[in-house]
Chain A
């Protein structure tokens, strides 16, 4: 699809790249104001999560259209070790070592829709949607 943006995540520098691309794409789609920063922050969190747990992965962003709503779809995936006890790990603030700390669980509050799937030994996929207000 010509409109999607794909960013490989292999290093901390890639996190910055992903943020910038997300901001640019969001602006192009018509997001304004704080939403741009909110989206960039969400990208930063999922990218950081990929680096911390899987060492490498990718983030794909594309425009979203549903009825008269327009927005942004973000998919962050890795083929890392996966997250055991996902529900518990996703509890906000649950210990940084066993859980996901505050970053990833907190990210769901930045987005309109948030879904995370993880299979131990196979990897993790996070799908997020944000609509233009």
Chain B
């Protein structure tokens, strides 16, 4: 099932709607790569509230997506991992190291604000200044 991606200011929000098939994940990766480039987004939130299982495959994919996005200049935060899912993940030995995690959308936005602000603003070309 297609994952809808919304733009919120300098961030993108991808809300997973149901169990992700392999194709869905690949599609998500491609869509995010494209949009981040298109909008120059600095941060991406992937909302996995709906997922009732996150296994090693999904974890690998999420880390791959985050890695790819970082190469494109965007930080990723995964939000909405449910208590039971977090429990099962750590029992299995899965970690989302190097990927930010936050409780929910609100926290995810706050996290991205913390991470991305404070970076020196890129100099802007001032049209017609010279």
Is A2 interfacial (CB-CB < 8 Å)? no
Q: A13-B21, A37-B53 are in contact. Are A106 and B88 (CB under 8 A)?
A: no
| Count of A interface residues, CB-CB < 8 Å | 24
Contact of A102 among B19, B22, B83, B92 (CB under 8 A): B92
Q: A16-B21, A37-B85, A103-B57 are in contact. Are A45 and B52 (CB under 8 A)?
A: no
Tell me whether chain A's interface is mostly helix, strand or loop, or mixed: helix
Q: A16-B21, A37-B88 are in contact. Are A106 and B94 (CB under 8 A)?
A: yes
Q: A106-B92, A107-B92, A110-B91 are in contact. Are A41 and B55 (CB under 8 A)?
A: yes
Q: How many A-B residue pairs have CB under 8 A?
A: 68
Contact A45 B87 (CB under 8 A): no
Is A38 interfacial (CB-CB < 8 Å)? yes
On chain B, the residues within 8 Å of A103 by CB distance are 55-57, 92
- Sort A-B residue pairs by CB-CB distance and give the 8 closest, nearest first: A103-B56, A37-B84, A44-B55, A106-B92, A41-B88, A106-B93, A34-B84, A34-B87
